[in-house]
Chain A
Amino acid sequence: MFEKDPSLDEFRDGLPELPSDNEAGKRRMRRLISALAVLVLFLGFLSLANTPPGAQIVSGKGAVEGVVLTSSGEPFQGEVLILGSNQTVRTNADGSFRLENVPAGEQSLILLGENGGNEIRIHISRGETYQVGVIRFVETAMP
C-alpha cells in the first residue's frame, strides 16, 4: 500500500531543491510551443480538406478512352477534350476516342458537337486508363 510513497532516506540531505523559475518557465514555453505546433498541424489538415476540387495536388498522368454515340445510336463525330488542358482529339469514324497524357485527378471530359457540348466528370489515376465505356451525346436544348 505504502511502497510507492517516498522513503525517509530520500530526505536524508534535506528537502530536494525545487526547480528554479527559469526551468519552470522553459518547460511552460516548450509545452506552449508543442501545443501550438499540434494546433497548426490540425489547422493545416483542415485547410487541406477544405481545398476546392479544382486545386489539385495529385501528380502524374493517365489516359481516358471510350466510344461516343449520338442519341440515335450513330457514331458521334466531334471533338473530345479535357477542360483546362491542351488534350484534344477528334472521334474516330466509329465514335471511339483515346486521350493520352491526361493530368491525374478530377477532370472534366468535354464532348463538343456542331452546336453544343456535354461535360462528364471523370477521375484519372496515375499510369492508368479510365474507361468511360459507351456514352451517349445528349443534344442540348439550345435557346
Chain B
Amino acid sequence: MPEWISYYAALIAKGLQTTLSLLVISALLGFALAVGVALARLSQRKWLARAALAYTSVLRGTPLLIQIYIFYYGLGSLFAQFPMIRGSFLWPFLRDGYWYIVFALVLSVGAYVGEVIRGGLLAVPKGEMEAASAFGMTPRQALLRVRLPRAMRLLLPTLAGETVMLLKSTALASTIAVVDLLGAANVVRAQTLQIYQPLLLVAGVYLCLTFLIEGVYAIAERRGTPLRRSVG
C-alpha cells in the first residue's frame, strides 16, 4: 500500500463522512419534498399543479452544477451584501458551502423523485383506493395508509436508481470547496502532486457505496413485499 494512503486516511474518512451525511440528509428531506411535489402535480387546483410542473421542469432542465453555482455564488454573494444577514445567527450556515449543497440537492431530489412518485401514485390500482374509501377512510388516511405505501413498494427499484444518482450528485460538493470524498481526493492530489491515484481510490469507494445502496434496496424489496399478486 502506498504511503500516502495511510497518511491521508483520516482526511479521506472525513470526506466519506461528509459524502454520507450529504446523501442521507438530502435523501430524507428531498423525499419529503418529492411527496409534496408529486401530490401538487396531481392536485385538482390548477395553479398548484402548474406551479409544481414549472418547478420540476426547470430543475430537471438545467444542470445541477449551475444550480449549485446560482445558490452558492449568486445568492451567497447577495446575502453577503446585507449586514443584517451577516450579523444574524444564520450566517455561519450561510457562509458554509455544505448547506448550499444540501439545499441544491434537496431541490433536485424533490424534482426528479417527485416525478417518479407521481408515476407511482398513478400506478396504484383504482380499486384499492375505492376499497379504502369503502372502509370509511378519509382521503388523507387513504393516501397515507394505502396509496403512498403501495406506490413506494412499486417504486423501490426506481428509487434505488435515484439514490445512486443522488450519491453521484453529492460529488459536485467538491466544486464549491466542500471536502467530501472527491474533495478529499483533490486535496490529496494537490498536496502529494499525484495526478490520478487518489481519484482512483475514491472511485473505488464510490463503487462500493453504490453496491451498498443497491444491496439495501434489494433487502427492502424482499422484506417489503410479503405477497406479490399480479394485477391483471
A and B together in one complex: no
Measured CB to CB, the residues of A under 8 A from B are none
Measured CB to CB, the residues of B under 8 A from A are none
